[in-house]
């Protein structure tokens, strides 16, 4: 399938594996790229620029196809070594970067000079237009359904994607609720040039996470996610568990007076406990409503091949047949 996204990134299928904390290791990125999509290494999971350098080189041993690095800009008391991460990305010859979080304007000149293509994650049309204005090559438009941070506007993809198509000149992919061939065709019908999947890629054989997480995703329905940290205006969609219930109870009790420190035990340091140790009740970890569409744990290649086969059948048989009718 040829779209502006496949052309921009030099990939076979318009499917991107977004950056995911403690999931986006070399194994995950390489498997997606080998299957014809765009795999992404999560930069900040590596903690240091030196760690990222090793992970990039490890990924290169597994695939010769294009892959990228995610760099998420977050406010922090002790911020990561962002200049070091940017330098490592450029020195290691990475040509595709997925940025997320705060505005990446400060690093854009360095990436542009090095010929790096930048796709920025946005949860609104106004942020997408800003990304376009600062020189991003593409955007990932995240609807309210998405796992992780959906922003504060609560606009689902059936509205957000066509609005983005009305306003943007650069290509964009749909993120949030993406799982199969139906998702891809629907996203493209609404104006996207492909799709970004996070939660769906977690439930694959190659995802380097505990089997308990994969089992939980298969078991979960579309009703099993919760929104936490809304009073802090740092809303995150997560899979419901005992730790999440504690957060929601504290939010109810403390109301708008709640501080991050009140929920730190259920939020900070949770990912290693969940993704590595398999403790499914530890606390909040990002999960999309798309969990309701996850029914198996295939290999990445099986998943991508199935998506493209389904998409082809929908376009050439069901939709074309409807026109003939």
Q: What is the C-alpha separation between 194 and 181, in angstroms, rounded?
A: 11
The domains located in the chain, with CATH, are 4-209 (3.20.20.70)
**Beta-strand pair 225-228/236-239:** antiparallel
Q: What is the C-alpha separation between 62 and 82, in angstroms, rounded?
A: 26
pLDDT in tens, 122-142: 999 999 999 999 999 999 999
In the three-class reduction of DSSP (H, G, I as helix; E, B as strand; rest coil), residue 196 is classed as strand
pLDDT in tens, 193-229: 999 999 999 999 999 999 999 999 999 999 999 999 9
Element (H, E) at 97: strand 96-101
* Secondary structure percentages of the chain, helix, strand, coil, to 5: 45, 15, 40
Q: Do 211 and 277 contact (CB within 8 A), yes or no? A: no
In angstroms, how far apart are the furthest CA atoms of the chain?
62
49: left (phi over 0), alpha (psi -120 to 50) or beta: alpha
Q: What is the C-alpha separation between 42 and 94, in angstroms, rounded?
A: 13
pLDDT computed for residue 324 by the predictor: 80
Tokens of 314: 């929908």
Return the ∠ at Cα 102 (arms to 270 and 36), rounded to 5°.
75
For helices 82-91 and 49-62, angle between their N-to-C axes, nearest 10 degrees: 30
pTM above 0.95, yes or no: yes
Positions in the chain whose pLDDT score sits under 70:
325
The residue length of the chain stands at: 325
Which residue in 148, 163, 159 sits closest to 267, CA to CA? Answer: 148
Q: What is the C-alpha separation between 223 and 295, in angstroms, rounded?
A: 15
pLDDT computed for residue 70 by the predictor: 98
**What is the rounded (10 degree) CA torsion for 240, 246, 249, 254?**
-130
Q: Do 236 and 149 contact (CB within 8 A), yes or no? A: yes
Which residue in 100, 30, 104 sits closest to 68, CA to CA? Answer: 30
Q: What is the C-alpha separation between 6 and 43, in angstroms, rounded?
A: 23
């Amino acid at each position: 399938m040829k779209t502006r996204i496949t052309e921009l990134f030099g990939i076979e299928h318009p499917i991107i594996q977004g950056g995911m904390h403690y999931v986006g290791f070399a194994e995950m990125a390489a498997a997606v790229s080998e299957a014809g999509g765009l795999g992404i290494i999560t930069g900040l999971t590596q903690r240091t620029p030196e760690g990222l350098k090793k992970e990039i080189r490890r990924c290169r041993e597994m695939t010769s196809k294009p892959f990228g690095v995610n760099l998420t800009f977050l406010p922090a008391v002790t911020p990561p070594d962002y200049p070091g991460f940017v330098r490592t990305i450029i020195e290691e010859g990475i040509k595709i970067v997925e940025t997320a979080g705060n505005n990446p304007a400060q690093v854009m000149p360095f990436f542009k000079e090095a010929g790096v293509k930048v796709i920025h994650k946005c949860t609104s049309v106004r942020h997408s237009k800003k990304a376009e204005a600062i020189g991003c090559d593409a955007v990932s438009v995240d609807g309210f359904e998405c796992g992780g941070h959906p922003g504060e506007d609560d606009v689902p993809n059936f509205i957000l994607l066509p609005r983005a198509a009305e306003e943007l000149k650069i290509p964009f992919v749909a993120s949030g609720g993406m799982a199969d061939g139906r998702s891809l065709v629907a996203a493209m019908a609404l104006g996207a040039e492909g799709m970004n999947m996070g939660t769906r890629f977690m439930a694959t054989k190659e995802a380097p996470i505990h089997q308990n997480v994969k089992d939980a995703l298969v078991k979960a329905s579309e009703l099993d996610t919760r929104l936490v940290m809304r009073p802090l205006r740092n809303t995150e969609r997560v899979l419901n568990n005992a730790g999440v219930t504690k957060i929601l109870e504290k939010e109810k009790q403390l109301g708008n007076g709640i501080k991050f420190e009140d929920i730190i035990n259920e939020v900070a340091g949770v990912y290693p406990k969940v993704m590595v140790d398999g403790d499914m009740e530890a606390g909040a970890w990002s999960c999309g409503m798309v969990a309701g569409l996850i029914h198996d744990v295939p290999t990445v290649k099986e998943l991508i091949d199935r998506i493209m086969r389904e998409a082809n059948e929908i376009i050439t048989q069901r939709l074309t047949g409807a026109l003939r009718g």
